[in-house]
Amino acid sequence: MICKTINLSTTPAALRTRSTFISLISKSSTTQQLNEIHSQLILNALHTHPITLTALIQKLSDLGSISHAHTLFSTIPSPDLFLHNVLIRALSRNRRPSSAIALYARLRPPLLPCNFTYAFAASACASMDSVEFGRLVHAHATVAGCGGDVFVGSAFVDLYFKFGCVGDARKVFDEMPEPDTVCWNAMISGLSRNGRFREALEVFGEMVGRGVSFDSTSLAAVIRVAGELMEVRVGLGVHCMGIKSGLCGHGFVLTGLVSLYSKCGDVDTARFLFEQIERPDFVSWNAMISGYSCNGETESAVRLFRELTGSGGEVTSSTIVGLLPVFSPFGHLELCRCIHGFAVKAGVDSNVSVSTALTTVYSRLNEIEFARQIFNEAPEKSLESWNAIISGYTQNGLTEMAISIFRRMQTLKVQPNPVTITSILSACAQLGAVTLGKWVHELIVRENFQSNIYVSTALIDMYAKCGSIKEAQILFDTMPEKNVVSWNAMISGYGLHGLGHEALRLFDEMSKAGVSPNGVTFLAALHACSHAGLVREGEKIFQLMSDYGITRGPEHYACLVDLFGRAGRLEEALEFIKGMPVEPGPAEWGALLGACMVHKNKTLAQIASDNLFKLDSESVGYHVLLSNIHSSDGNYQRLPWYARQ
């Protein structure tokens, strides 16, 4: 027993009060030891002494024995402000925010809150359901003249970010006369948590520019931002800063770098950094396993997982989520089932992150019924869970089910986010449901999602595919910021409506705006030329791909064949196929066969079909196309099924 480590019977009474019991309390590591000390305090009639009682309450709070601490607190006739602060902080940290705020509200003159009181109360408010309590405490702090205090300011910055009140957080930060490193870190982390990654980078740049010292927390926060943006150059710069400042030795900084390089596709560097971590914790292991998985190196992820379990390491829900091949699931159905089984045995399958990841991976493997079963049976559903099943139905072409789930989500008052909106707009586009799409557009305006570039792009795509090209054009023209996906959506929309010249005009504008086209851009432009009969322009676009260093894929070659075919230039299409630098595949020969069907060219159709059957003899579609061509004039003898009789 801890009390036996010091002989109380030979210790002077004054020292028992001032040092002996305080020493025992500070050395305690369990609530049982503290209970023994409390008993000794009672036996020695010292249980009402304010100093020892304060130390005991503080230690009980630190060990999470909040009920006991609260009971002792209530026995003190006039607890001082320090003791109030201790208990408010403890109640907040132990998920009893309402009790913390109730204790804060009991403070009356002459006992007035100090900067620590306001900061601890702000932390409690951050765990409540509404930001309004936080606003009230913030007003109290401002009136008391503590609003500019860095400790108080950091707490309120964090509070507002947790409720998504980015503007309020920024205002609090801007009003601090000299924010310290902790304040800057709160700002960077808060912007990152709210998806304002570019702004977070700008704040970090401002912090460095002002000469404010950064620490390991600063680096870890900005490394995460660089990873989310997949900005490897920014990550390299921060990495260099960490090396120069000697902060890269921290495990959580190295773990952040592992995640960063993995997200940017540099798995070798990620593995090298992982091996530099002296004692990797489960977060480090999870980052490396996830890094392998998200780069399609599933076997390496499984090997590392076995290494983790073989060494007796902790397997958490995050480990399972990282191990699941969500980004490249194809061909790994059995592996996913094994991981699912392991999750069940480990008792983490009911974890919301695990069930969401399983829903996603089964959806991508076209096991949509199994995905729905997991979603239905999940005891807890997060917004990400709803997004996963809506996206799953949309990706599998079951758009009506996706819309049905979205409506159920609305009925249950689950607030959508930009990911939800982009998925449901994709469903509307596939279904041609422009009325629902317009209702979603109104929802976007109400929720102020229109500033999200991906939401705006999805809206453009929806209107274009639903026949409202003018609406799409207006949205595109009013977008404050456009990325390559936005330009692609509008070019594709013009092409879909046969507006080839408009598509090419936009293609030129895109280049002048300094946005580099990608393979999808060229495919959209080629489709636009094909639908509008712009053969010469299409050939120029095709040749231009080399200037941008973009590798042509089968879809690009097939699109040019379709371009020639639609214009009736079938011989040129055949010569183009024969002159391809790569072996032509089903896409190119299929495009030629389709053109032959339109122009009733049986000779070239036979050539195309012969090559197709060599590549894919079981394709029913190609047989049907060829049969339609030959049967159009009663030439049944040339039909494959007739010839076999």
The most distant pair of C-alpha atoms in the chain lies apart, rounded to whole Å, by 118
Among candidate residues 113, 69, 120, 118, the one with its CA nearest the CA of residue 97:
120
Nearest to 606 by CA among 596, 617, 615: 596
Q: For residue 50, which phi and psi values (nearest 5 degrees)?
A: -60, -40
Mean pLDDT score, 72-83: 82
- Whether 608 contacts 589, CB under 8 Å: yes
pLDDT > 60? residue 9: no
Residue 6 has pLDDT above 90, yes or no: no
Alpha carbon distance 180, 178 (integer Å): 6
Q: What is the pLDDT of residues 242-259, one digit of tens each?
A: 999 999 889 999 999 999
Residue 60 in tokens: 């009980």
Q: Supply 76's token pair.
A: 């003190």
pLDDT in tens, 410-459: 999 999 999 999 999 999 999 999 999 999 999 999 988 888 899 999 99
Cα separation, 505 vs 519, whole angstroms: 18
CA 607, CA 520: separation in Å to the nearest integer? 30
The yes-or-no verdict on residue 539 having pLDDT over 80 is yes
Q: What's the confidence (pLDDT) of residue 323? A: 93
Q: What is the pLDDT of residue 636?
A: 44
Mean pLDDT of 75-82: 82
Residue 10 has pLDDT above 50, yes or no: no
pLDDT of residue 439: 95
For 595-617, letters b (16+ CB in 10 Å) and e give bbbeeebbebbbbbbebbbeeee
Question: By the 8 A CB rule, do 154 and 186 touch?
Answer: yes
> Looking at residue 86, what is its pLDDT?
85
Q: Please name which of 277, 341, 346 lies closest in space to residue 318, comparing C-alpha atoms.
A: 346
Q: Measuring CA to CA, how many Å separate 227 from each of 197, 257, 314?
A: 10, 8, 25
CA 597/CA 628 separation, integer angstroms: 8
Q: What is the pLDDT of residue 47?
A: 61
Q: Average pLDDT of 519-546? A: 94
- Residues 367-408 have pLDDT tens digits of 999 999 999 999 999 999 999 999 999 999 999 999 999 999
For residue 305, pLDDT beyond 90: yes
* Predicted local distance difference test score (pLDDT) of residue 630: 57
Amino acid letter for position 419 = V
Average pLDDT over residues 14-36: 68
Report the range of poorest mean pLDDT among 1-15, 278-292, 564-578: 1-15
635: confidence class by pLDDT, cuts 50, 70, 90: low
Model pLDDT for residues 324-375, shown as the tens digit of each residue: 988 888 888 999 999 999 999 989 999 999 999 999 999 999 999 999 999 9
Report the pLDDT value the prediction gives residue 45, as an integer from 0 to 100: 61
325-343 burial string, b = 16+ CB within 10 Å, else e?
bbeebeebbebbeebbebb
More confident: 280 or 51: 280
pLDDT bucket at 486, cuts 50 / 70 / 90: very high
* Cα 534 to the center of its chain, rounded Å: 41
Q: Are the beta carbons of 267 and 296 closer than 8 angstroms?
A: no
- CA torsion 69-73-75-80 (nearest 10°) is 160
CB neighbours (10 Å) of residue 241?
17
Task: Give the tokens for residue 529.
Answer: 């030329």
Read off the pLDDT band of 481 (50, 70, 90). Answer: confident
Q: Which residues contact 276 (CB under 8 A, 6 or more apart)?
A: 254
| pLDDT score at 627 | 64
Q: What is the mean pLDDT of residues 207-234?
A: 93
| Segment 456-475, tens digit of pLDDT | 999 999 999 999 999 999 99
- What mean pLDDT do residues 632-636 have? 51
Q: Are 35 and 47 in contact (CB under 8 A)?
A: no
Model confidence at 53: pLDDT above 90: no
d(CA 414, CA 22): 51
